[in-house]
Amino acid sequence: MTDAPQTKPAAEALNFEFVDLPQLAETYADSIQTLFFDGQNLRVVFCASRLEEPKGGGRPLGKRYPTCRLVLSAQGTLDLINRIQKISAALARDGVIKAKAEGAAPDKAN
C-alpha cells in the first residue's frame, strides 16, 4: 500500500462512454416538492400540478402529484450544481434572467 495522496477520486480518473437509451421515457415536472441533502445523497421529488374543475362556480382547486423521485450521489449532486451554474450564467449573459451582483445587499421594502 502506498502513502502517496490521490489527486483525483477514482471515478474522475476513469473515462465513461455515454450510451443513449432512446426507449427511456421522459418525465415532466413543473415544480419541486422536496429537496433534501443528507451529506451523502441528494433526494429530489419532482411534481406536476393539476387543476380540478371548480364546483359551484368557485375557484378551481389545484393539486400536485409526484412524477419522479430522484436520488443523486454526492458526486452527482456536484455535477448537477456545476451544470446549473453554467446554464444560469448563459441565461444571464443572454438577458433571460437577471444576474445577482456579488456581495450586493438584499433589497429592503420601505
55-106 pLDDT per residue, tens: 787 888 899 999 999 999 999 999 999 999 999 999 999 999 987 766 655 5
pTM for the full predicted model: 0.69
Q: CA–CA separation, 79 vs 72, rounded Å?
A: 10
Cα→Cα distances 84→64, 72, 90, 99, Å: 24, 15, 10, 14
Task: Name, in order, each residue with C-beta under 8 angstroms of 68's C-beta and a sequence gap of 6 or more.
Answer: 27, 29, 45, 46
pLDDT above 70 coverage of the chain, percent: 80
Helix (H, G, I), strand (E, B) or coil at 40: coil
pLDDT tier for residue 110 given thresholds of 50, 70 and 90: very low
